[in-house]
Chains A and B, each alone.
Chain A
Amino acid sequence: MIHAVSMGLGLFGLWLLLSGFLDNTLLLGLGVFSCVICVYIAARMEVVDHEAVPLQLKFGVIGYLLWLSAEIGKANWAVTKVILSPRMRLQQRMITVPAGQQTDVGRVTFANSITLTPGTITVETQHNSFVVHALTDDAADFDALNDMGARVSAVESRT
């Protein structure tokens, strides 16, 4: 129930932000109506849960996104140097990174974070680890990937 209400409020907030109609009662009513329809359809599809509305995420996830942006910037610069160097020194390899996240949302966040960072791509998800393709030795930094995993585990769930 809390997920459905949050989804409806979130959708209506999005509707307000994107439409910009704040003083037209008819349009506001139609907006509420379409949000209710959306939540009803989502409920019938049985997707109104912790995945569609990840309320369990801690607020620390915002700090994590900022940290991730900085990491992406650094990794971009590293890959840029590789691409522009006259002799590209590639040491491609597949490494296995343990993924100890408790929730599906946490695992997806970790896998997407690895892929977002240039130089590493999540290739395959296994029971409790990921197969990661790394472009160079520097990118295949096991400790840095583990540190990222620990940061995801820290914000994935309140319980």
Chain B
Amino acid sequence: MIDLALDIASWISFALGGFFLIVGAIGMIRLPDFWSRLHGAGVIDTAGAELILLGMIFQAGLTQVTIKLILIGLFVFLTSPTGTHAVANAAFVAGLRPLGEVKKRDEDKKKGATS
């Protein structure tokens, strides 16, 4: 009974994680420029990777493997934003600016969508 519940929980995690991985991949193709694509990668880094790891934790149960998976999740949690920041900062210093950047809030209503 517990096994069945754990299997269901892990499959839900795998399915959701896979969904977010695919959404992130679609985002990296569909989004128009460098800055917005970073956000697509962010979906993969956070929801995608962590939910797949959560599914593996449900499969592993209370074993040493679970501890290692939690540590992997923690390190991904700490390192992936650092890498994203390094890439974004390099682009900012190099002078790259977002496509259709909105400078002030007032301009929103005039410009509307920039897709």
Report A's interface with B, CB cutoff 8 A.
17-18, 20, 72-73, 76, 79-80, 83-84, 87-94, 111-113, 115-119, 121-124, 131, 133, 135, 137
Contacts and interface: CB of A to CB of B under 8 A. Distances in A.
A122 B98 contact: no
Nearest to A91: B102
B57 interface: no
Interface residues of B, number: 44
Given A76-B20, A83-B30, A118 B114 contact: no
Contacts of A90: 31-32, 36, 99-100, 113-115
Contacts of A121: 35, 38-39, 42, 84-85, 88
Nearest to A130: B85
B23 interface: yes
Contact of A124 (B31, B46, B47, B92): B92
Contacts of B80: 116
B31 A83 contact: yes
Given A17-B67, A119-B39, A133-B35, A112 B88 contact: no
A101 to B, nearest CB: 16
B98 A116 contact: no
Contacts of B26: 83-84
Given A72-B47, A116-B42, 19 more contacts: A79-B27, A80-B20, A83-B40, A88-B32, A90-B32, A92-B35, A92-B101, A93-B98, A93-B101, A115-B42, A116-B77, A118-B39, A121-B42, A121-B85, A123-B89, A131-B92, A135-B35, A135-B39, A137-B108
B101 A87 contact: no
A79 B39 CA distance: 8
A93 B98 CA distance: 7
Contacts of B101: 92-94
A122 B67 CA distance: 30
Interface in B65-115: 67-68, 71, 77-78, 80-82, 84-85, 88-89, 92-93, 98-103, 108, 112-115
Interface in B24-60: 24, 26-27, 30-32, 35-36, 38-40, 42-43, 45-47
B106 to A, nearest CB: 12
A112 B92 contact: no
